[in-house]
Structure 1
């Protein structure tokens, strides 16, 4: 019986002590950031154009910059995990990316073109 009284007292006193000791200081809002320097305006062409297409039950989001398709996000039906297709090279090679780590992309530089 004595143990139950001690536990009950402890259960009522500890939250009060934790609340009293953890008061944060008075916070002030941050000042507004300064405007960007001249010449640093955002280029609207740098924003990707996103086109959403329904293919069967799958949803395909196509990402383009300057009209060039560089990435696709495929979301399968049924709540399955989405995956990405990233363009590897200009010849149309695509690599699949399933997780947070980017896929291994081998450099394919054109040195001479006859």
Structure 2
């Protein structure tokens, strides 16, 4: 009994779309577009490639602004000190276990408000989460 119902349903599903297409002979299969369409302009040709690329101007490098990196090994840990013009700006610590972390100078606390303020001028340790 269920087999006959299944055959009837499958046959109707295959016949109904064919009847729907053939039922309206006045309709063409081309979609109708508005009459006021304007064609797109042609794509211009690219200029020919040249081997001589424009040269960048020579800019002298200021040695005072170059970063000086000092690498220190303490046991199995590696410490990189980054200095600019002799001033320590950042320390990168690469431990034997775990990800590297950075200690940067805190520019806000570089000038103490009063003599009783303790602590050092370093931000809390920072770990790199994403890299682009």
TM-score under structure 1 length normalisation: 0.52
CA displacement 1:21-50 (0-9 Å, x = unmatched): xxxxxxx6763332316xx42212211000
Name structure 2 gaps, 5 residues minimum.
1-48, 112-119
Do the aligned residues in 1 keep the contact of 2:66 with 2:85 (CA within 8 Å)?
no
How do residues 4-83 of structure 1 correspond to structure 2 at under 5 angstroms?
Answer: 31-36=52-57, 40-78=59-97, 80-83=98-101
Question: Greater strand share, 1 or 2?
Answer: 1
With normalisation by structure 2, the TM-score equals 0.46
The aligned residue for residue 97 of structure 1 is 126
Decide which structure has the larger Cα Rg and report it. Answer: 2
Deviations 1:42-79 (A, max 9, x none): 2122110000001222100000001000000000013x
Aligned pairs, number: 72
The structure 1 segments of at least 4 consecutive aligned residues displaced by more than 2 Å after TM superposition are 28-33, 89-92
